[in-house]
Structure 1
């Protein structure tokens, strides 16, 4: 497939990648702001030029053929290389500019919003930064529909048109009140020890809730779920009063732990951790490059996260 790439332009590759990401030409048309017939003609011309079929057209959208999968894999590298070349050349003219919309969950947002804003203000004064808060499923949908340039996710999505990089993991802990300590200080608490303790967790749409329930099911433990809050602040307020326990990464309540208003017990036997994955979408016009975004998020995570998160590793 590489031997054909020189006959294509980057615009065609970006449009092809957006269709693959969206799963339909009509959805990609809305994201790219290109009329659907024009986009369809572009893809037909691309297929004719390459002499292969890139998509299986169905009543519900499109699926990549084997040739389409190969082109998608190579296009990720080629577009990144072109963006990196453009970034290096633009650097001769001054500080990178553009815009970036980054999606964060409420828990990771508490940890990263300030480091991100500080870094952008210091090193990218011409960059307009937008932070969008949502739960993991919502962030993935926004990435796929072009509303976000990047997001922190907790699993690698199956859609290969998103570029994903695992940069660490967060251990999860039982969080409780100092008013009524549920367990002795310093203990590692197995999930089975939560039996009979009232809990407040997020609603089932939240990835953290799903992870906790899978962990409990594996241990054959029925959780006493008394409250379902999608508000992190409301959850913390309830736990402070001693009305329930919750399960969160300690980073989400670091200020309260440092102030002595909450207690934390790591979940153990087995431990419960969630990965941190930087996912970047195909570049929108005017946005900074995917590599710049990844570097920005990676540095923010490493500056804010505890040392045990370790070095970043590729997640695909």
Structure 2
């Protein structure tokens, strides 16, 4: 039994006419008839009841028809995926992103990416950094957008941009009108943070020189699951927080955002993937589109792969 015979079976089942099925299959009628008979002999059952005027499916033929269709469809899907593998800028690419980045970055780049590479289909996932890296290592994702350094030699990271942090304050906070916000001002803030597991939490505490063990009071118990919720708490006068520049459009009523003139008040966003992943052209295409569509509130980076890519670079050099 082969796929060709299953296609003949499907064609005859749908047309109920040997001549029409043969024309649809681009073979002669005797050829199609002989292959159907061969298939019936292999399966050990009659698929059709034949008379001089009619062709009808038997009960077992009716039962086998959906399976034949699924088998042919799966085989065709396998061929399509293989073709996509030969064309790195075609087909699905599974991309993950952290929650403090995805809602603000992806709307800027999805349409330009579709226009530039219409055959590339992103499958997006939004999860915390640890889970994204775990899924990347287990081949459940092809690439991920994160904001933490990567030290895994099996992973390659491409720096995309640096994103400054802004200070979000209740509208009547004294720092709203202060000319310059200094480090000691941040140390005295009632800082609101995201829930544990968000890399932004550790980054904000580092910028503010805050020790987790020193946090107390109501702010220590207020942990939001999203930046939008955090900003709503700021607007309600519950405290202040640090906001990445791309998320500034989420700043609503009752909140004032102030820039921070501090060298470390920023994060570096990178695109990371397995060093062994074969579709590097697709990765580079995504990186290029992201850099080309960034607002002027962030600084695009054109750096090459970080240390984790050394093995890949050496392999390429050896074959050049």
The two structures have a TM-score, normalised by structure 2, of 0.59
1:303 maps onto 2:303 in alignment: no
Show the 5 A alignment for 1:18-57: none
Q: Is the 8 A contact 1:166 1:275 kept in 2?
A: yes
Counterpart CA distance in 2 for 1:90 and 1:100 is 12
1:126 maps onto 2:126 in alignment: no
The structural deviation recorded for 1:254 is 2.3
The structural deviation recorded for 1:205 is 1.7
Answer with 1 or 2: which has the greater Rg: 2
1:137 maps onto 2:127 in alignment: no
Aligned residues: 221
**C-alpha distance 310-185 of structure 1, shift in aligned 2 (>3 A):** farther
Which residue in the other structure is 1:231 paired with?
226
Which residue in the other structure is 1:146 paired with?
139
1:273 maps onto 2:266 in alignment: yes
Which residue in the other structure is 2:190 paired with?
198
Q: SS of the counterpart of 2:149? A: coil
Counterpart CA distance in 2 for 1:200 and 1:228 is 7
The structural deviation recorded for 1:279 is 0.7
1:113 maps onto 2:106 in alignment: yes
Which residue in the other structure is 1:38 paired with?
none
Counterpart CA distance in 2 for 1:269 and 1:300 is 25
The structural deviation recorded for 1:188 is 4.1
**C-alpha distance 109-301 of structure 1, shift in aligned 2 (>3 A):** farther
Q: Is the 8 A contact 2:100 2:200 kept in 1?
A: no
Deviations 1:10-47 (A, max 9, x none): xxxxxxxxxxxxxxxxxxxxxxxxxxxxxxxxxxxxxx
5+ residue gaps, structure 2, are: 1-82, 308-320
Which residue in the other structure is 2:152 paired with?
159
The structural deviation recorded for 1:158 is 1.4
Q: SS of the counterpart of 1:198? A: coil
Which residue in the other structure is 2:90 paired with?
97
Counterpart CA distance in 1 for 2:285 and 2:178 is 35
5+ residue gaps, structure 1, are: 1-85
The structural deviation recorded for 1:220 is 11
Q: Is the 8 A contact 2:156 2:273 kept in 1?
A: yes
Q: Is the 8 A contact 1:165 1:279 kept in 2?
A: yes
Which residue in the other structure is 1:291 paired with?
281
Deviations 1:43-93 (A, max 9, x none): xxxxxxxxxxxxxxxxxxxxxxxxxxxxxxxxxxxxxxxxxxx999849xx
The structural deviation recorded for 1:132 is 0.8
Q: SS of the counterpart of 1:183? A: helix
Q: SS of the counterpart of 1:280? A: strand
Tell which deviates more after alignment, 185-194 or 237-246.
Answer: 185-194
Counterpart CA distance in 2 for 1:128 and 1:206 is 27
Q: SS of the counterpart of 2:185? A: helix
**C-alpha distance 97-228 of structure 1, shift in aligned 2 (>3 A):** same
